[in-house]
Structure 1
Amino acid sequence: MTTRSEPGDDQADPSLSAIMSERRQLINLAYRLLGSLAEAEDVVQETYARWYAMSRQQQEAIESPGGWLTRVASRICLDVLGSARARRERYVGEWIPEPLPEPTELGGAAVDPADRVTLDESVSMAFLVVLESMTPAERVAFILHDVFRYSFPEVAEIVGRTPAACRQLASSARRRVRAQQAPATATAQRAGIVRDFKEAWEARDIEALIGLLDPDATGIADGGGLVSAVFRPIEGGEKVARYAIELAGWVPDLTILERTVNGQPGLVAQRDGVTVVVMAFDIVGDRIKHIWAVRNPEKLRPWTAEQQH
């Protein structure tokens, strides 16, 4: 996994190739573990800092730099998750994971491929919300084993528990995921339902919105900075629809765009070209079951390159 320097080449860093090739893996891992791109980037930076704090001799003694980086990043994430739980309990309003854009849909500067998170089912908003309900150890064991295919002995070394205990942690996490998992709706159908929601929202057609929402639908919106928080989930399809109409009235001149949010069809609301809301949807059958509306400006940072078009 590492690229060794040729004899006599004492200027090249033998670990550089390995370090660079691992960056995207580390970003992908840390985002899934933390649900925050900003925190994931901090973890990766700290991981590299620890690598470069070692002497060349210490670095060369490590058989698998990639494995070392993953272990260190995972342990930092475990610590962050422990402290994040306390922070999120004090969070004003509901905590929603940080939404990720599809880089090809963004205007402005291109995203470095090494900093991209692979947008698959394991980063859908519905999946990340289930991960938030897990203990830090469950989340780390589950993601490392079920998503990144690490063996339980390898997970045990990272989590600091026995392989058998890690197997139990992952099994418990898996049960949580299965309990929340609904039959998949085809991407084209999901996109069509989100498009219908957009059109009904723009037209302020309350009946059309209610028709698209599951009767037991839940809407969750966060806040932060100068944006006031919605303190509790909005429960019931009719109430969610009425809140959406009210929101459109509170913030006039919104431009609603269809965008990919965490790999799924979603919506972005902009005002004067600035993203103010990112909406992710959980669709079961032909109805919207959950809507997550992210309004915290700090979490909208990856969307600031978005240009109205």
Structure 2
Amino acid sequence: MSERSDRTAEAVEPPTDRGSADRATETFVAHRNLLFTVAYEMLGSAADAEDVLQETWMRWVKVGQDAVQDSRAYLVRITTRQALMRLRSLRRRKETYVGPWLPEPLLTAPDVAEDVELAEGVSMAMLLVLETLTPTERAVFVLREVFGLEYDEIAEAVGKNPVTVRQIAHRARNHVAARRPRGAVSQAENRAALLAFRRAVETGDLQSLLDLLAPDVVFLSDGGGLVQAALSPVVGADLVAGLLTAGLGRIAGSASVQLAHVNGHPALIVRIGGQIEGLLAVRTEDGQITGLYFVRNPEKLSRLEQETALRR
């Protein structure tokens, strides 16, 4: 369906017969997890992804169902367009964000880790890499590399011609390749690093954790200006070790840590007094910790209480 046809269909009044409305609802519900995943990978925010889904639904129910040949592709197009508009406004909001911005973490089912491409796409490390792309580059990369859409489909979703989309995809792949981990993400290495962190919290012995820090390790902490957090990246093993030593010293004996699947990878949920204090994720390469991501912004922690379904 052409972009012009899409606009025409989206302008149709909401279906008045019960059967058409039921079909629209059933179709949307069937694809909801996929649409949420598309929006979340483009935005890095579950709250904004939910808003995009609401906007998608409002447009979808105005579509004449008989005019749609491929409902999945049509819904992905609407979601992508709404997410692109939201992403551009988010960029302006992030310019005034207090301290480093990290994606909103999601508690995910273990089966997400079994889909390697999906797990990598929603990992904290990859979402941070995607932040360095332009909105259109991010949309094209996500739709092509994670969801496997054809260039013609992506072109309709982003409002470009297929030739231009191929060029954007090539540029985005090169950009991501230069910034992503050199090798495949190792779930086992991530888990080992997190278990060392848990031992440090439980025993006060930090040495096994500090021994894993890469010389150029980067620590990012997101408090959003609402809770205490480092206001800039902490870089280098010595500085990160000092930060961890001080931080773990403050919470030793009062904190509990839970190993969980977050964004398709092992992570630690940190609780104090039974309340979630933060989420710690890591990036490892060749057995060393190259990135530590600590989300403390309380507005970003609600999705750690219940699993979020992600699908391709």
Short-chain TM bin: 0.7 to 0.9
Contact 1:225-1:297 within 8 A present in 2 as well: no
| Structure 1 Cα separation of the partners of residues 183 and 59 of structure 2 | 43
- Measure how far apart 1:75 and its partner are: 0.2
3-state secondary structure, aligned to 2:160? coil
Conserved 8 A contact 2:201-2:255: no
The equivalent of 2:193 in structure 1 is: 193
Give the secondary-structure state (helix, strand or coil) at the position aligned to 2:290.
strand
Unaligned runs of 5+ in 2: 1-16, 308-312
CA separation of 1:96/1:9 partners in 2, compared to 1, >3 Å: closer, same or farther?
A: closer
CA deviations over 1:185-238 (Å, ceiling 9, x no partner): 542333123212321344333433321110110100011363134210011112
Identity percentage over the alignment? 38
Q: Which residue of 2 aligns with 1:78?
A: 84
Change (3 A) 1:185 1:40: closer
- The aligned counterpart of 2:71 is 65
Residues 31-40 or 191-200, more deviating:
191-200
Residues 73, 153 of structure 2: 8 Å contact kept = no
CA deviation profile, 1:33-87 (whole Å, cap 9, x unmatched): 1111111111111101112244xxx232222222221111100011111111111
Cα-Cα RMSD:
2.4
Equivalent position of 2:25 in the other structure = 16
Please say if residues 107 and 305 of structure 2, whose CA atoms lie closer than 8 Å, have aligned partners that are also in contact.
Answer: no
- More moved, 91-100 vs 256-265: 256-265
> Which residue is 1:240 aligned to?
240
Structure 1 distance, partners of 2:153, 2:274, is 47
**Segment drifting more, 255-264 vs 224-233:** 224-233
Q: 1:250: how far off?
A: 3.7
Distance in 1, Cα, partners of 2:121 & 2:276: 25
Measured after TM superposition, the shift of residue 274 of structure 1 is 1.1
Partner of 2:96: 90
- Secondary structure of 1:120's counterpart equals helix
Higher RCO by CA contacts (8 Å cutoff, separation 6 or greater): 2
For the Cα contact (< 8 Å) 1:210–1:238, is it kept in 2?
Answer: no
Unaligned runs of 5+ in 1: 1-7, 106-112
Q: For 1:150 and 1:49, how far apart are their aligned partners in 2?
A: 24
Separation of aligned partners in 2, 1:27 and 1:121: 16
Q: How does 1:122-137 map to 2 (within 5 A)?
A: 122-137=121-136
Farther off after superposition, 183-192 or 219-228 = 183-192
C-alpha change, 1:128 and 1:9, in structure 2 (3 Å) is closer
2:177 corresponds to 1:178? yes
Deviation >4 Å, runs of 4+: 8-12
Q: Which runs of structure 2 are paired with 1:181-260 in the superposition (5 Å)? A: 181-184=181-184, 186-224=186-224, 226-251=226-251, 253-260=254-261
Using structure 1 for the length normalisation, give the TM-score: 0.85
What's the secondary structure of 1:293's corresponding residue? strand
Q: 1:171-192 CA distances to partner (integer Å, 9 max, x unpaired)?
A: 1111122112221254233312
Which whole-Å CA distance do the structure 2 matches of 1:62 and 1:24 have between them? 20
The residue matched to 2:231 in structure 1 has which SS?
A: coil
Tell whether the 8 Å contact from 1:261 to 1:279 is kept in structure 2 after alignment: no
Deviations 1:91-125 (A, max 9, x none): 000010111113479xxxxxxx9xxxx96221111
The partner residue of 2:52 within 31, 40, 43 is: 43
Q: TM-score, normalised by structure 2?
A: 0.84
Cα pair 1:197 1:212 within 8 Å, conserved: no
Q: Which AA in structure 1 matches 2:245?
A: I
Q: Distance in 2 between matches of 1:234 and 1:12?
A: 53
Paired amino acid for 2:231: F
